[in-house]
Amino acid sequence: MHDTKYVFVTGGVTSSLGKGIIAASLAKLLQERGYSVTIQKLDPYINIDPGTLNPYEHGECYVTDDGAETDLDLGHYERFLNIPTSQANNVTTGKIYQSVINKERKGEFLGKTVQVIPHITDEIKRRIQILGETGDYDIVITEIGGTVGDIESLPYVESVRQLLWEKGPENAIVIHLTLVPYLAAAGELKTKPTQHSVKMLMQSGVSPDILVCRTEHEISEDIKRKLALFCNVKKEDVIQSIDAETIYDVPNLMFEEGLDKVVLEKLQLCSKKQPDLLVWNDFIQKHKNPTSEVEIGLIGKYVELHDSYKSITEAFIHAGSSNETKVTVRWIHSENLTPKNVEKKLEGLNGILVAPGFGDRGIEGKIKAVKYARENNIPFLGICLGMQMAVIEFSRNVLGMSDAFSTEMKKNCKNPVINLMESQKDVTEKGGTMRLGAWDCKVAKNSKTYDAYQSEQISERHRHRYEFNNEYLEAIENAGMKATGINPKTGLVEVVEFANHPWFVGVQYHPEYKSTVLNPHPLFVDFIKAALKQFKK
Ligand code: GLN
């Protein structure tokens, strides 16, 4: 068995301090120092997973290869580490309780009262250690969602306390991420909130080994000394995390502050090699010094909350850097697109992306955006629902089937060019029942998709219930829209394209989930390349 070491990341003072980015940056540095590392997120809410959550509540739902619907932080982990995450990387209170209650019903605790301690905490501990025991990782970083002091976080903090005790200080440590606010009126950084939050953590029996302090201003040596004194840590273990221009700067900033070094020391590990961030820094260099700029319209119905499209906007950053191009997103609410204003709202765009989504809100706006892209030769990428809308738009406006639609929006429509998948017909429960995770796709050689991937065999992640209705395939292909990607086993259409358009690709899958700093997604790279060509014209 692998001797895995555990790093816990807790948060104090407020939420939204960027625990996920700190965890991912540390993991990146440890990976660069020669260790195999993964990151796990524990979410204290009671939903089994965010799959049933409205994006307005929770931002994007991120999907793994093995079909887990997860927190968007897992996207950051993959983008930073360039290794896939899995079901085990995201645990929620709902999942913990579900397995304990299932065991109780099976009679596995027969005779015993089932309690938060030890039964819930045992299950949390088991979930934390699964990755270490089965995944061949040297280090597992576990991010505890929420803020220390929240009622719902208590069982997690208690589980961390037990694991620290069981594993010993050289095998398990705690990083506490807090805020050191700046009071403009006093002209001072304040340490009190951090002191309180550490006290709160200590009341649960957990003493932080390292403090990472989020700040808008440089933290002086004096303040570090003060924090160390009040929070039971050494001064060297107080790490400043100053606001960064981009999240991708954070690994460098943490390296300069020595976060990875103190973590290795505490875990009694040596550095196997010096971190080599050459490729990473080349990416940042190009991202920050673009030689050109394109504007892409992102058409969606959750655009008020940009986090709803996190992986898409990050994929733009990766693809932009790879093209040395700044990608500016024009956020366009699909509900606000009307036949009257579509020209005006989309005018001047170098590319149009119609986003994934569910239900009929804003659907006609999406169809109008597709039409505009098709007729005006604007590079187009349609993702999942965006691809389905491309098929509907083409069927209505080119094939003349004015009633073409998806049965998701109109159950008994006469021309259901998008239809519920056969495998979904008996599904009644909403949670975790879509077609999820990685599926193979065979790409036609003579296509934009092949040009991008340079491969006929690809595998991409999915999250949908509806599909291209193959009864219409022949008619649609004869009219000029080609199915250039097909699932080899089921015949399901995965990609549609036009040959006579500068760049028009609709994909049933979600390429955005697989774009990373080291591997920008080929479709996004070529989409931006096409947008750049359009711009130069
Ligand atoms: N609502 C569509 C379906 O279920 C598309 C889903 C999506 O865009 N992820 O097929």
Nearest CA to 143 among 89, 193, 195? 89
Alpha carbon distance 138, 406 (integer Å): 48
Q: Mean pLDDT in the chain?
A: 96
Question: Within a 10 A sphere around the Cβ of 9, how many other Cβ atoms?
Answer: 24
Q: Which residue has the tokens 């006093």?
A: 186
Tokens of 434: 């879509």
Confidence of residue 110 (pLDDT cuts 50, 70, 90): confident
Q: How far is CA 61 from CA 308, 495, 506, in A?
A: 8, 22, 20
Computed over its alpha carbons, how large is the radius of gyration of the chain? 25
304 Cα to the center of ligand 1, angstroms: 20
Q: Which atom of ligand 1 is nearest to the CA of 434?
A: 4
Alpha carbon distance 250, 267 (integer Å): 22
Indicate if ligand 1 lies below 6 Å from the C-beta of 356: yes
Alpha carbon distance 493, 367 (integer Å): 19
Q: What's 198's DSSP letter?
A: H
Q: What is the pTM of this model?
A: 0.96
Indicate if ligand 1 lies below 6 Å from the C-beta of 384: yes
Average the pLDDT over 318-331 and give the result. Answer: 98
- Confidence (pLDDT) at 321: 98
Do residues 124 and 91 make contact, with C-beta atoms less than 8 angstroms apart?
yes
Average the pLDDT over 428-433 and give the result. Answer: 90
Indicate if ligand 1 lies below 6 Å from the C-beta of 464: yes
pLDDT in tens, 127-175: 999 999 987 899 999 999 999 999 999 999 999 999 999 999 999 999 9
Q: Of 63, 301, 361, 384, which is best to mutate to test ligand 1, by the most ligand atoms within 8 angstroms of its C-beta?
A: 384
Phi-psi region of 224 (alpha: psi -120 to 50; beta: other; left: phi over 0): alpha
Do residues 298 and 266 make contact, with C-beta atoms less than 8 angstroms apart?
no
User: Between helices 259-266 and 250-257, what is the axis angle to 10°?
Assistant: 60
pLDDT in tens, 399-427: 999 999 999 999 999 999 999 998 888 98
Per-residue pLDDT at 1 exceeds 70: no
Do residues 506 and 497 make contact, with C-beta atoms less than 8 angstroms apart?
yes
* 375 exposure class (CB count in 10 Å sphere: 0-12, 13-18, 19+): exposed
Q: What is the percentage of the chain residues whose pLDDT exceeds 90?
A: 92
**315 alpha carbon, distance to own chain's centre:** 10
Indicate if ligand 1 lies below 6 Å from the C-beta of 503: no
Q: How far is CA 56 from CA 133, 303, 332, 384, 408, in A?
A: 36, 9, 16, 19, 21
Q: Which residue has the tokens 């765009």?
A: 349
531 Cα to the center of ligand 1, angstroms: 25
430 Cα to the center of ligand 1, angstroms: 13
Alpha carbon distance 452, 459 (integer Å): 14
- Confidence (pLDDT) at 2: 63
Write out the DSSP string of 438-495: EEEEEEPSSSHHHHHH--SEEEEEEEESEEE-GGGHHHHHHTTEEEEEE-TTT--EEE
pLDDT in tens, 277-312: 999 999 999 999 999 999 999 999 999 999 999 999
